[in-house]
Chain A
Amino acid sequence: MDIATLAFSALYQFGDAFAFLVLSACGLAVIFGMMGVINLAHGEFIMCGAYVTVSAARAGLPLPIAIATGAIVSALVGALIELAVIRHLYDRPLDTIVATWGLSLIATQGTLIVVGSTLAGVGTPFGSFQVGQYSYSIYRIVLFASALGVLGGLYMLFNWTRFGVLARATIQVPHMAASLGVDTRLIYSLTFACGAGLAGLAGGLYAPTMTLVPTMGATFIMEAFVTVVVGGADVFLGTAPAGAVLAVVKSAMTSWQGQLFGQIGLLVAVIIVIRILPKGISGFLLRERT
């Protein structure tokens, strides 16, 4: 095996890990970064997106539209939950964790009761291609592109649109924004829905690659948390670089010792990072500004 195929293989592994970390974390990061709320039901929004996507795809919708449906349904569910539960808990962040944990229990067990223990999936589209002696899935490349696309889309949303300006004003000084006439409650609702929708999108994108079980959220949630903790509160200066750093750790450990050690490597990395950079990478990058 020559250097080029080896490099491609490493790059592919990195891209795969990066896409997984960023896609599963960005919904969580948006909600946490904007609202200081940790959404423990994040994995269940991912599950919701995946279930809706697969159901829609099996009902005959083309896959991209099915994925969009999954994301939109998740966002709607998120908006409802924000109205019913989260809204009352903004001044009690620890209680939000507990409440969303309760929601996650309800969602997991409820799905098990209503849908059953598994849902037949859809196959991974696009097939594969060959580099050297290994074959690679094209869909994984699509996922990597989607991760970059999501980051770019979020950047545009928060920097170029009116919603983005109002949202950033609301994070910085909520009372000032409110007194200038910004409906901060609406902004919070929309942000939560946006985070839930991103989770649903992640679920939809990964739905063709995995088996659908009610506990599938747990597969994502650890990686998502680790990325958000390492990244800190800012989506662009935090989640993206954290995703890159952790993807290197994860892909290196995985190809060296297998998947479990990839995850253990992530965990060790996060524990070391919080000791050195308690506010995450974005806290480190932004420290001059504060």
Chain B
Amino acid sequence: MDGLLVFLRRLEGPQTVGRGPAFWIVFVIVLAIAGAYPLFSDGYTVGNTVYFFVWVFIALSLCLIWGYGGSLSFGQTAFFGIAGYGYGILTINFGSAYGFTLVALVLAVGLAALFAVLLGYFMFFGRIAGVFIGIVTLAVTLMLERFMAQTAGPEWHVGVARLNGFNGMSGMPPLTIPWPGGGIVLFADIGLYYFVLALLVLVYLGLRILMNSAFGNVIVAIRENPERAEMLGYDVRKYQLITFVIGAALAGLSGVLYTVWGQYITPSSMGMTAAALPLIWVAVGGRSDLTSTLIGTLVVLAAFQALTIYGSQYALVFMGVLLVLTVLIAPNGLVLAVMNLLARLTARRGKGDA
């Protein structure tokens, strides 16, 4: 019991913004609204919200690697793509009986993590740092895109699953939860919504605990000063590699959920533009805090979609401008700046009452 309490206490700490009863009351209210929301909405809107949620995982993964770990990775979309294709290949080959789709989800995420172990080993144990990690991960991502884009011919297949080149794979079965008397198929509306929402809450709270634990503090220490962290006896490379792999797994989860959501995955989900978008959400939200990243991602995504409706060509230009301005004016992110302001205001009022 005490152990659990210590564990839960880690939900708050120096590495995450938002603490105290006020924050958690808001959290529960937001969660309740999110839980009740599908009851008052139509299937299309709910499906669209799932789409937003799917992207939050990749944003959180970038927040972990870049914001907390200090290594800028452009490779998150590579893991996204690997896991997405992995899920497609597995389920098209083995079908969805006996809850295999859930196994495929885990295997596909594992595949992305395995790839990250390989790549991360070469990068972190080669002790490359800073901008070079960005370049190498970007090169890997673009390479994967080019590779997948040229797999149009019939000779490119894994089992019965054709890779289909630039058009990508489609027609993989949706997630199915095995249940006595027929599985529950999670189509891209209410069923998938609750599944993804539950995953999202789990991942968010799990990351909060992770970042406020000893491990998280070491990660932040490495970001602030790698030499000092090393002098204190921590194997910097190992910590960076583990963070990278956790991040890759989260990005992979995002990829699987995306594939499940739309039942397709294409090479362009790993291209330049696709790789840029998570960066924008995280940078604009506030990369060094999980909550800011989460809010920022949802807000920017919603804004992007609204813009796309009115003029899809200009939406990307607007996103680019937003990114440049954020870096110049609010380098720590807009949402984080607002949240820090709120925290300061409430703290001052609390002092005044006492």
Which residues does A use to contact B, with CB under 8 Å? 32, 36, 38, 40, 85, 88-89, 92-95, 97-99, 101-106, 108-110, 112-113, 215, 218, 221-222, 225-226, 228-229, 260, 263-264, 267, 270-272, 274-276, 278
Tell me which of B27-35, B122-130, B228-236 binds A. Answer: B122-130
Q: Closest Cβ of chain A: how far from B272's Cβ, in Å?
A: 6
**B130–A101 touching, CB < 8 Å:** no
4 new A-B contacts at CB < 8 Å, known A38-B134, A94-B134, A105-B316: A102-B324, A229-B132, A274-B122, A275-B125
**A98–B139 touching, CB < 8 Å:** no
In the assembled complex, which residues on chain A have CB atoms less than 8 Å from the CB atom of B272?
104, 108, 215, 218
**B136–A271 touching, CB < 8 Å:** yes
**B131–A274 touching, CB < 8 Å:** no
Kindly state the separation between the CA atoms of A264 and B126 in the bound complex, as whole angstroms. 20
Q: Closest Cβ of chain A: how far from B203's Cβ, in Å?
A: 24
For the complex, is B175 an interface residue (Cβ under 8 Å from A)? no
For the complex, is B147 an interface residue (Cβ under 8 Å from A)? yes
Q: Closest Cβ of chain A: how far from B34's Cβ, in Å?
A: 30
**A274–B136 touching, CB < 8 Å:** yes
**B319–A229 touching, CB < 8 Å:** no
**B327–A110 touching, CB < 8 Å:** no
Which residues 265-292 of B have a CB within 8 angstroms of A? Answer: 271-273, 276, 279-280, 283
For the complex, is B108 an interface residue (Cβ under 8 Å from A)? no
In the assembled complex, which residues on chain A have CB atoms less than 8 Å from the CB atom of B283?
98
For the complex, is B321 an interface residue (Cβ under 8 Å from A)? yes
In the assembled complex, which residues on chain B have CB atoms less than 8 Å from the CB atom of A228?
135
For the complex, is B138 an interface residue (Cβ under 8 Å from A)? yes
Kindly state the separation between the CA atoms of A60 and B272 in the bound complex, as whole angstroms. 35
For the complex, is B37 an interface residue (Cβ under 8 Å from A)? no
Which residues 108-147 of B have a CB within 8 angstroms of A? Answer: 119, 122-123, 125-128, 130-132, 134-136, 138-140, 142-143, 146-147
Q: Which single member of A94, A222, A263, A276 contacts B72 (CB below 8 Å)?
A: A94
Kindly state the separation between the CA atoms of A40 and B138 in the bound complex, as whole angstroms. 10
Q: Which single member of B146, B147, B150, B317 contacts A105 (CB below 8 Å)?
A: B317
Kindly state the separation between the CA atoms of A109 and B322 in the bound complex, as whole angstroms. 14
**Would you give the 0/1 interface string for B23-65, flagging 1 where the beta carbon is closer than 8 Å to chain A?**
0000000000000000000000000000000000000000000
**A102–B323 touching, CB < 8 Å:** yes
For the complex, is B1 an interface residue (Cβ under 8 Å from A)? no
In the assembled complex, which residues on chain A have CB atoms less than 8 Å from the CB atom of B320?
102-106, 109
Kindly state the separation between the CA atoms of A264 and B144 in the bound complex, as whole angstroms. 9
For the complex, is B215 an interface residue (Cβ under 8 Å from A)? no
Chain A to chain B contacts (Cβ below 8 Å), 5 pairs:
A102-B321, A102-B327, A110-B317, A113-B317, A272-B122
In the assembled complex, which residues on chain A have CB atoms less than 8 Å from the CB atom of B316?
105, 108-109
Which residues does B use to contact A, with CB under 8 Å? 70, 72, 119, 122-123, 125-128, 130-132, 134-136, 138-140, 142-143, 146-147, 150, 271-273, 276, 279-280, 283, 313-314, 316-317, 319-324, 327-328, 331
**B313–A109 touching, CB < 8 Å:** yes
Kindly state the separation between the CA atoms of A121 and B143 in the bound complex, as whole angstroms. 26
Q: Which single member of B122, B146, B273, B328 contacts A275 (CB below 8 Å)?
A: B122
Kindly state the separation between the CA atoms of A94 and B331 in the bound complex, as whole angstroms. 11
A97-B131 CB under 8 A given contacts A92-B331, A263-B143: yes
Q: Which single member of A104, A113, A226 contacts B139 (CB below 8 Å)?
A: A226
Kindly state the separation between the CA atoms of A41 and B271 in the bound complex, as whole angstroms. 15
**B126–A275 touching, CB < 8 Å:** yes
Q: Which single member of B70, B138, B327 contacts A99 (CB below 8 Å)?
A: B327
Kindly state the separation between the CA atoms of A40 and B132 in the bound complex, as whole angstroms. 12
**A101–B279 touching, CB < 8 Å:** yes
**B128–A267 touching, CB < 8 Å:** no
Kindly state the separation between the CA atoms of A207 and B331 in the bound complex, as whole angstroms. 37
Q: Closest Cβ of chain A: how far from B236's Cβ, in Å?
A: 14
In the assembled complex, which residues on chain B have CB atoms less than 8 Å from the CB atom of A275?
122, 125-126
A112-B327 CB under 8 A given contacts A101-B279, A275-B126: no
- In the complex formed, the residue of B with least CB distance to A88 is B328
Chain B CB within 10 A, most for which of A38, A94, A264: A94
**B279–A270 touching, CB < 8 Å:** no
In the assembled complex, which residues on chain A have CB atoms less than 8 Å from the CB atom of B132?
229, 274
In the assembled complex, which residues on chain B have CB atoms less than 8 Å from the CB atom of A110?
317
